[in-house]
Amino acid sequence: MTHQVKDNTFCLFANDKKSNDKRPDWSGKGKVSGVEVKIAIWKRKSQNGAEYLSGTIEEVAKPDMPQEEPQPEALDNHILC
């Protein structure tokens, strides 16, 4: 079942198949100003022992979205020899 999120909200699910620390403890999706995003959250512990959450947010690439190609850097008006 696909869970639909409303604009400016998100939904996270616990990762019950976490096999290493690089995999998030929680992951899900959201929508920010109409743009779909993927969210990943890790439980962390600071050097002094305080627990906190850390995460990433990435825009979901749509299959019909053209991938932005890197543009060559603009050359100035100098001739290089």
pTM for this entry: 0.68
Q: In angstroms, rounded to a whole number, what is the distance separating the alpha carbons of residues 71 and 73?
A: 6
SS3 45: strand
Strand-pair category, 26-32 with 9-14: antiparallel
- Tokens 């603009």 belong to 74
Q: In what order do the strands lie in the sheet with 51-59?
A: 9-14, 26-32, 35-45, 51-59
Query: Does some domain include residue 25?
Result: yes
Strand-pair category, 35-45 with 9-14: unpaired
Query: Does some domain include residue 65?
Result: no
List per-residue pLDDT tens for the chain, 81 residues long: 466 789 999 999 999 888 888 899 999 999 999 999 999 999 999 999 999 999 999 999 877 756 566 555 554 544 444
Range of the domain at 42: 9-59
Task: Tell me how many domains the chain contains.
Answer: 1
